[in-house]
Structure 1
């Protein structure tokens, strides 16, 4: 499955549009990740625990989007966009949404 942020697939012609597809992931951030991120905030540096959570959530959202495109008979997703939102009263939930247009490219 080809997924691209561009509106075309280089070297291929889009012959059919199957529709807009989404992949959503809502992930909770636990106490230990909050604690270690707080230490990074105090002492400086990158928060590896949050970065790992972001990477995992993004990859899962893209895989879900691609799976839904496959179910429609597509072999590519163009115009891919990734959005991030923080949810919950304490801001302890992360939502990642991947969206794009499922297409058949030859």
Structure 2
């Protein structure tokens, strides 16, 4: 499944727009990661535990959007966007959305 952030795919024609697809994950923080994050705020540097956690959440959300597009019979998702929002203290939502299309 092609997933692109552009409105079209170079060299391919969009034959049909099937609709918006989404995928989301609500991810909470882990106590062990919080301890390491607290230390990093003192000494500085990347908080790799959170980076890995958010990377995994983005991959899960993208996979869910792809599954939704495949169920619609899509060949690609165009105009893919990611957004993050705080749901509650210690939990964030990763949302991916785009337009499922059939290619010619």
Q: Common fold, TM-score beyond 0.5? A: yes
What's the offset of the Cα at 1:63? 0.8
Conserved in 2, the CA contact under 8 Å of 1:73 and 1:104?
yes
Do residues 51 (structure 1) and 44 (structure 2) align? no
Aligned length: 104
Distance in 1, Cα, partners of 2:92 & 2:58: 10
CA distance in 1, matches of 2:87, 2:31: 16
Q: 2:90 aligns with which of 84, 89, 92?
A: 92
Q: Any stretches of 5+ residues in structure 1 without a counterpart?
A: none
Q: TM-score, normalization: structure 2?
A: 0.97
Which residue of structure 1 lines up, in the alignment, with residue 25 of structure 2? Answer: 25
The residue aligned with 2:5 is 5
CA distance in 2 between counterparts of 1:63 and 1:6 reads 19
The Cα of 1:22 is off from its aligned counterpart by 0.3
The structure 1 segments of at least 4 consecutive aligned residues displaced by more than 4 Å after TM superposition are none
The residue aligned with 1:14 is 14
Cα displacement (A) at 1:64: 0.5
CA distance in 2, matches of 1:68, 1:60: 12
Q: What secondary structure is seen at the aligned counterpart in 1 of 2:66?
A: helix
- Which TM-score applies when normalising by structure 1? 0.95
